[in-house]
A and B are shown apart, each in its own frame.
Chain A
Amino acid sequence: MSEPTTPGAFPRRDFLKAGGALMVGFAIGVPVAAQQPAAGLPGAPDPNRLDTWVAIHSDNTATIFIGFVELGQGNSTALLQIAAEELDLEMSQVKTERVETGKTPNQGGTVASASISRGGPQIRLAAAEARQALLGLASVRLGVPPERLMVSRGVVSVVGEASTSVTYGALIGDRRFDVTYTGEAPLKDYRSYTVVGTSVPRHDIPAKARGTYVYMHHVRVPGMLHGRIVRPRGQGAYADGLRVVSVDPSSIDGIRGARVVRRRDFIGVVATDEWGAVRAAQQLKVVWDTPASLPATPAALFERMRSSPTIDRVAHDVGDTTAAFPTAAHVVARRYDAPYQAHAPFGPNCAIADVKGESAVVMCSSQNVYLSRTKLADVLQMPEQQITVQYYEGAGAFGHAPYNDAAQAAAVMSQEVAAPVRVQFMRWDEIGWDNYGPAHTSDVKIATDANGKFVAYEYHGWQHTWSQTDTTAQLAAGRPPTESATEGTRAQLVSTFNAGDMHVLPNWRIVNHRVPGMKGFLKGQSLRSPLDIAISFGSEQVVDELAYLANMDPYLFRRQNINGDRWLAVLTAVAEAAKWAPRRAGANVSSARVVTGRGIALGTHLASYGAAVAEIEVDTQTGVIVAKRMYGAIEAGQIVNPGIVESQITGMLIQAASRVLKEEVTFSPTGVTSVDWVSYPILRFAEAPEVTAVIVRRQDQPSTGAGEEAVAAGAAAIANAFFDATGVRLQEFPMTPARVLAALKKEGRA
Chain B
Amino acid sequence: MPTTLTVNRRVVEVEAAPDTPLLYVLMNDLELQGPRFGCGLAQCGSCSVLVDGVETRSCVTPLERVAGKSITTLEGLSAWYAQQKKLATAPDLHPLQQAVIDEQAIQCGYCYNGLIVKGAELLSQNAQPTDQQIRTAMNGHLCRCGTYPRMMKAIQRAARTMAGGAA
Contact = CB atoms under 8 A, between A and B. Distances in A.
Interface of A: 1-2, 4, 18-22, 71-74, 201-202, 204-206, 208-215, 217-218, 220, 273-275, 278, 344-348, 393-396, 398, 424, 426-427, 643-644, 647, 650-655, 658, 676-678, 682-686, 688-691
A393 B27 contact: no
9 contacts: A20-B75, A72-B110, A204-B109, A345-B108, A396-B144, A676-B43, A683-B146, A683-B148, A684-B142
A658 B107 CA distance: 17
A678 B40 CA distance: 13
Contact of A691 (B33, B37, B138, B149): B149
Given A347-B46, A654-B149, A395 B110 contact: yes
B65 interface: no
Given A273-B28, A347-B46, A676-B39, A685 B107 contact: no
Nearest to A1: B75
B60 interface: no
B100 A212 contact: no
Contact of A209 (B100, B144, B146): B100
Contacts of B116: 209
A206 B98 CA distance: 8
Given A274-B24, A395-B108, A677-B39, A685 B33 contact: no
A734 to B, nearest CB: 16
A251 to B, nearest CB: 18
Interface in B85-115: 93, 97-98, 100-101, 104, 106-113
A208 B147 contact: no
B31 A208 contact: no
Interface string B2-31: 000000100000001101110010011011
8 tightest A-B contacts by CB? A72-B108, A654-B146, A21-B31, A208-B109, A19-B31, A396-B108, A395-B110, A688-B148
B contacts with A: majority SS: loop
A393 B108 CA distance: 8
Contacts of B136: 686
A345 B143 CA distance: 9
A212 B44 contact: no
Given A678-B43, A691-B149, A346 B113 contact: no
B145 A210 contact: no
B57 interface: no
Interface string B141-159: 1111111111110000000
Given A205-B106, A345-B144, A686-B136, A21 B149 contact: no
A659 B50 CA distance: 32
A686 B135 contact: yes
B32 interface: yes
A211 B75 contact: yes
A215 B46 CA distance: 13
A72 B138 contact: no
B44 to A, nearest CB: 6
Contact of B32 (A21, A208, A684): A21
A650 B105 CA distance: 10
B155 to A, nearest CB: 10
Contacts of B98: 209
Given A677-B142, A690-B149, A209 B112 contact: yes
A595 B44 CA distance: 31
A73 B33 contact: no
A194 to B, nearest CB: 20
Contacts of B111: 346, 395
Contacts of A685: 135, 138-139, 141-143, 148, 151
A393 to B, nearest CB: 7
B108 A273 contact: no
Contacts of A212: 33
A19 B98 CA distance: 23
A373 B46 CA distance: 30
Contacts of B39: 427, 676-677
Contact of A651 (B16, B110, B113, B147): B147
A311 to B, nearest CB: 34
B43 A677 contact: yes
B53 interface: no
Contacts of A71: 108
A651 B146 contact: yes
Contact of B44 (A278, A346, A650, A688): A346
A365 B152 CA distance: 29
B75 A347 contact: no
A617 to B, nearest CB: 15
A243 to B, nearest CB: 28
Nearest to A201: B104
B31 to A, nearest CB: 3
A393 B106 CA distance: 14
A394 B110 contact: yes
A394 B110 CA distance: 8
